[in-house]
A and B are shown apart, each in its own frame.
Chain A
Amino acid sequence: MDIQKALFDYTLRLGDNALILGHRLSEWCGRGPILEQDIAMTNIALDLIGQARSLLQYAGEIEGKGRTEDDLAFLRDITAYRNVLLVEQPNEDFAFTIVRQFFYDNYSFHFYTALLQSTDETLAAIAEKSLKEVRYHLRYSSEWMIRLGDGTEESNQKMQKALNQMWMYNGELLTMNETDRVLLAAGIGVDLEALKPACEAKLAEILAAATLEMPTGTWMQKGGKEGKHSEHLGFILAEMQYLQRAHPGATW
């Protein structure tokens, strides 16, 4: 794989992660457990969709075929999406949403910190911008992990259940594929393996404070980075892309 192709794939992946998780969170709009959480989740969704916009815009530039960020978001089919499986998982309840968010925030905080050192100036700039926002997201999801885990018996059970069920989607975030290896060698990408100790330490710290038990499963789902998705992504795209598919080029 040449570097240019890997860079497109990589930037697409980062953009798709932010876009799909942002879309998932936006599904809470008007349905949050309380008003403040409704607002918080939609704020985080907005940050993520903003990050996705910068990333997909750059992906379009790298590709050089004149595709805009909107083309990439609204006119690609499911197998062209490069997001990890974690971010397409359904919201289920607030516990699932918080666990999914914490896994993603913990990864993205460490990931973007490392990406600041990228020799690709645009990716480093996007990392610098995103990191400021991710700090607030990680604080938010960490606090809710603790508040609900160390809350009532019922909230603790719901969190433990969400943690156990979501666990198999946590591994893909830090699993290297060919794209990662090509870009790491080029000084552009991040060494995901090297992020593991810090991510695991943060996870252990938060779970201990939340009185939650670390899941023990070792089987991890993967495939999203290569375009192999769960059926959930199809439903997301059907909703997200409907307007542009039905009325190509519509604006308002």
Chain B
Amino acid sequence: MQTIVTENEIWEILENVMDPEVPVLSVVDLGVVRAVTIIDNAVEVTITPTYSGCPAMNVIEINIKATLQAAGFNKVTVKTILSPAWTTDWLSEAGKEKLRAYGIAPPVGRSIDEHALFGAEKKVACPQCNSNNTKMLSQFGSTACKALYKCNDCLEPFDYFKCL
């Protein structure tokens, strides 16, 4: 490839790599991509897991490589780092709106660390009817990043993307 590629172009391409478990969010929206560097046409993408045991990480790595290779980048490496640890504070505003539209309540407020320990339960608005009259059923939901809630008004259960 003769043209000069910028890191910004790589970031744009990565907007098309979706999270396998929340397919409305790209790995960029999610904040999983931490850095992109290009040295002599070789692309290195640095990612960080949402949770230690997140089973989606392998798939994300494969999809990043495949997407960049399809766009003409033959030398792609994906590096995983653990620090700084991923936080829901990195979710983009656009990402939060996409979550809500998909039926998952986005994280409320920032991840103030001590809050997870016996903090008062946060008011989470129902993504279906917007009511604040909701109740947490379980701190642990269908995937590690979600808690299970129910709405007392429209009676629908829903996932809440919890603060981390």
Contact = CB atoms under 8 A, between A and B. Distances in A.
A180 B107 CA distance: 39
Contact of B139 (A50, A126, A139): A139
B102 to A, nearest CB: 20
Give the dominant DSSP class at A's interface.
Answer: helix
B52 A138 contact: no
Contacts of A43: 140-141, 144
Given A50-B53, A50-B54, A36 B85 contact: no
The contact size tier of chain B is: 20 to 34
A40 interface: yes
B145 to A, nearest CB: 10
A53 B141 contact: no
Given A39-B141, A43-B144, A135-B113, A51 B53 contact: yes
B81 A125 contact: yes
SS of B interface (majority): loop
A128 interface: yes
Given A47-B52, A49-B53, A136-B116, A125 B83 contact: yes
Given A49-B53, A50-B52, A128 B83 contact: yes
Interface in B53-112: 53-55, 81-87
Nearest to A142: B118
A40 B141 CA distance: 7
Contact of B85 (A128, A139, A142): A128
B42 interface: no
Given A39-B140, A40-B140, A126-B82, A47 B116 contact: no
A44 B85 CA distance: 18
Contact of B52 (A54, A124, A140, A142): A54
B139 A40 contact: yes
A239 B49 CA distance: 28
Interface in B106-158: 113, 116-118, 137-142, 144, 148
B53 A53 contact: yes
B116 A139 contact: yes
B119 to A, nearest CB: 9
A44 B141 CA distance: 11
Contacts of A142: 118
A136 B139 CA distance: 8
B92 to A, nearest CB: 20
Interface of A: 36-37, 39-40, 43-44, 46-51, 53-54, 121, 124-126, 128-133, 135-136, 138-140, 142
The 4 closest A-B pairs by CB, nearest first: A50-B53, A50-B52, A125-B83, A40-B140
